[in-house]
Amino acid sequence: MLAACGLRVTQARLDTVRTLLDSQTAMTHQQMQSRLPAMDRVTLYRTLDSLTDAGLAHRITDDSRVAHYRVNRQHSAGMARPADSPASPGIHVHRHGHFKCETCGELFCIDLPDDTVFALNETPTPWRSFWQQVVTRTLGPGFQASGCEFTVRGVCTRCTPL
């Protein structure tokens, strides 16, 4: 996966990708650091940035401004970047939503059905054009859309009383 995205294969990147793949939830830098205690925090930040820039991971910033990282399932499944993704390697677009537990704060990636407007995989207009039309119609010309976030809030199974 690393080589296919043009990244040098290093132990730090391998360890980070493995940790992300093993997690069922999106992880903060602090959570990653606790699972990778031998890696210094700056190396981990740089590694997460390189994975995000290459599209192997995505960064989700929650309402408390804490960044969470999750492996990009398109690359982990061996699939190429979608045709309407930006050409710039520094911008990664993911087409799924997130579920944030209001009790423990965990952030989960959720796949949306193909017929959901938020997924935009099957719509005749690519996501960027679609959201640009929504922004222009709502706010007027001149505003430029670069992405969209979709988060469902609730309580996860660990926090739900039985």
Domains of the chain (ranges; CATH) run 3-154 (1.10.10.10)
The side-by-side arrangement of strands in the sheet containing 27-28 is: 27-28, 67-71, 57-61
Q: What is the pLDDT of residue 95?
A: 57
Q: What is the pLDDT of residue 125?
A: 53
Q: Which residue has the higher pLDDT, 106 or 39?
A: 39
Lowest mean pLDDT among 42-46, 111-115, 157-161: 111-115
Q: Which amino acid is at 44?
A: L
* Average predicted confidence (pLDDT) for the chain: 78
Tell me the HSE value of 42 on the side-chain side, using a 13 A CA sphere: 0
Q: What is the pLDDT of residue 155?
A: 92
The answer on pLDDT for 148 being more than 90 is: no
| 73 band by pLDDT with thresholds 50, 70 and 90 | low
| 69 band by pLDDT with thresholds 50, 70 and 90 | very high
Q: What is the pLDDT of residue 150?
A: 77
Q: What CA–CA distance (Å, rounded) separates 61 from 29?
A: 12
Handedness of CA 137, 139, 145, 150 (dihedral sign): negative
The tens digit of pLDDT for each residue in 40-68 reads 999 999 999 999 988 889 888 877 788 99
For residue 107, CA distances in Å to 68, 73, 151 come to 8, 16, 9
Task: Give the contacts of 55 (CB within 8 A, at least 6 positions apart).
Answer: 5, 72, 74, 75, 81, 85, 89, 92
Shortest CA distance to 60 belongs to which of 15, 105, 22?
A: 105
Q: Which residue has the higher pLDDT, 112 or 30?
A: 30
Q: What CA–CA distance (Å, rounded) separates 46 from 53?
A: 10
Q: What is the pLDDT of residue 119?
A: 41
The answer on pLDDT for 112 being more than 70 is: no
Q: What is the rounded average pLDDT of the residues 151-160?
A: 89
Q: What is the rounded average pLDDT of the residues 139-158?
A: 84
The answer on pLDDT for 34 being more than 80 is: yes
